[in-house]
Amino acid sequence: MPGAGSTALAELDRIADRDGTVLSAWAGPTDGSTWLTRLPDAVHHAASTLKLPLAVAVLGAVETGRLDADSPVLVRAEFSSVVGDRPYSLTAEYDNDDEPWERLGDSVPVRWLVERSLGRSSNLATNLL
């Protein structure tokens, strides 16, 4: 796939330049060989690497009836931590999307959080999912 990989990398470069973002990518078959890679050593927040798989899991739960896409979720910025009883908090400065922060204390539907997580790369929406 050399031609397709070059085209894909050029498009990723164009998007990253246009949006001023750090955009990493890897593509290849399940045997682990690489078709293309872009900025493989760039550092990204864990939430950024989990957004798509999380959305797939949420939408799968909606499709199988285990979750209603219109279920309300309370927007909050403090979460339970895996480290003891200490809470974990997010701050708006490290997020790409202001809108979830403007809704702190309100309830929003699951589908809205998925859209914000993927469409605006919202870390808060991702954590809420």
For residue 127, the tally of other CB atoms under 10 A from its CB is 20
Q: Radius of gyration of the chain from Cα atoms?
A: 17
Total domains in the fold of the chain: 2
Residue 39 reports pLDDT greater than 80: yes
Domain span holding position 103: 46-128
Say what percent of the chain tops pLDDT 70: 94
Residues 72 and 24 in one domain: no
Residues 6 and 58 in one domain: no
Tell me, what's the pLDDT at 1? Answer: 45
Residues 66 and 89 in one domain: yes
Provide the pLDDT confidence category of residue 4 given band limits of 50, 70 and 90: low
